[in-house]
Amino acid sequence: MKKTTYLLMVLTMVFSLTACDKLVEKGIKKQMTQSRTGMLTDGNLHVVLVGTGGPFPNTERVSVATAVIAGGEFIMVDTGPGTVRNALLQRLPMGNLSAVFLTHFHSDHIADLGEANMYSWVQGNRQKRLEVFGPPGVEKVVQGYALAYEQDSLYRTAHHGEDVAPPEGARPIAKTIFTQDPDQAELMFDRNGLKAWAFRVDHFPAKPAIGYRFEYKGRKVVITGDTKQTGTLARHADKADLFICDALDAKTIHLAAKVASEVDQPSLSKIFTDITDYHLTPVQAAGIAQKAGVKKLVFFHVVPPLTNFILKRRYLKGVKDVFGGDIEIGEDGMTFKLEPGSL
C-alpha cells in the first residue's frame, strides 16, 4: 500500500471516530437535559399516568402509578412493577420526588417502591428520608423495602461518596394514614398549596384500602386506587376535573375464567372469578362519574389488557350511555395539565 493511501485511510478513520463521538455525545446530552422539571414550578397542576395496567403482563401497559406534580411537590400514587422505569423514560424529575402515597399493598401497586426510593435518593442526593404514606400496614411494607435495599444503599454511599448518596436519606420512612371516620376524607398532606385527602374505598380483603383527592389552585383530581362500588365514592369525586378510576371489564374476565376452567387451569379460573368482585366495571365507574358531575373520566388499572380493538370495544360498551362527559382510557405516559381555576 502506498504511504499516502495508508495515511488517507487513517485520517478517514480518525475523522469518522471523532464524528461518531460527537453524535453520541450529542445524544447523551439530549438524554440528560430532557427532564420535565418545569412541571414542578410552572404554577399548574400536572398529572402523568406513569402506569395504567393491572397485574396481567402485556406490552401496552405496566402496572399502576400516577404522578401528581404541582407547587414544587412531586407525589407518586402507587409504585407498581415497571413504573419507575416508565417514570424515568417519561423524563419525570425523580430526583425531586417528595413522597409516595400507597392506596393498598397488593404487589401490582407496591413492587417498585424500593426502586422509587433508590432512584430519587441518588438522583436528588436526598438527605431527608422519602415519606411513604399509606393505610395501616404501610410500616411493614416500608420496613421490608428498607431492609431489602440496605446493602445496596451501603455500597452506593461507599462507591459514590456521601455527597452523592447521603446515608441519612437512604431509608424510606412510613407515614400511616388513619381515616377516623369511614365516610369522611382526611386531609393528610398540605404543602406549597398542594393539598391531599385520603378516603376509604372497598377492596376487601385488602383492608383498609384508600383513594386520594388532590387540590391545587382550584383544580381537583381524584384517584380511586382499587375499589368496588361504594356509597361514598361519588361524593369524594364531586365535581372533580379529573376522575382517575379503577375499571375492570368483568364480562371478559368471566369469559377468561370459563376458558381457564375448560383448559384445566382451575386455580387461574378461580382467580379470574374472584377478582371481579372487588373492582369497578367501566359502566359502574361511568355511573359514579355521572353522579359526581366530574369533567373527565379516565380509566386506569385497565383489566384485561386491551390488546386489540375488539377488547377495547367490549371495555367501553355501555359507558357513553351512562356518562355524558369526557372519557379516556388511560395509557402509560398520558399527561394532563390543569391550569389554575376555581372549584
Binding site for Zn ion (CB under 5 A): 106, 108, 226
CA 245 – CA 253 distance, rounded (Å): 18
Please spell the DSSP secondary structure of 208-274, one letter per residue: EEEEEEEEETTEEEEE--S----SSHHHHTTT-SEEEEEEE-HHHHHHHHHHHHHTT-HHHHHHHHH
- Look up residue 28 and give its three cell numbers: 447523551
CB of 342 to Zn ion, least distance (A): 34
CB of 197 to Zn ion, least distance (A): 20
CA torsion sign for 328, 331, 334, 338 is positive
CA 82 – CA 92 distance, rounded (Å): 14
Nearer to Zn ion among residue 73 and residue 249 (C-beta)? 249
CB of 303 to Zn ion, least distance (A): 8
CB of 307 to Zn ion, least distance (A): 19
Do the Cβ atoms of 242 and 336 come closer than 8 Å? yes
What is the three-class DSSP state of 122? Answer: helix
Strands 45-52, 64-70: pairing is antiparallel
CA 29 – CA 32 distance, rounded (Å): 5
- Residue 294: how many CA atoms within 13 Å on its side-chain side? 32
CA 183 – CA 201 distance, rounded (Å): 9
CB of 195 to Zn ion, least distance (A): 25
CB of 231 to Zn ion, least distance (A): 20
CB of 79 to Zn ion, least distance (A): 12
CA 244 – CA 237 distance, rounded (Å): 9
CB of 340 to Zn ion, least distance (A): 32
Nearer to Zn ion among residue 226 and residue 332 (C-beta)? 226
Nearer to Zn ion among residue 92 and residue 209 (C-beta)? 209
Nearer to Zn ion among residue 209 and residue 221 (C-beta)? 209
CB of 109 to Zn ion, least distance (A): 6
Q: Vertex 166, ends 161 and 171: CA angle to 5°?
A: 130
Nearer to Zn ion among residue 172 and residue 211 (C-beta)? 211
Nearer to Zn ion among residue 27 and residue 136 (C-beta)? 136
Nearer to Zn ion among residue 103 and residue 117 (C-beta)? 103
By residue count, the chain amounts to 343
Nearer to Zn ion among residue 169 and residue 304 (C-beta)? 304
Nearer to Zn ion among residue 73 and residue 226 (C-beta)? 226
- Look up residue 215 and give its three cell numbers: 387540590
Strand order in the sheet with 242-248: 186-191, 194-203, 206-216, 219-223, 242-248, 296-303, 326-329
- Look up residue 149 and give its three cell numbers: 435495599
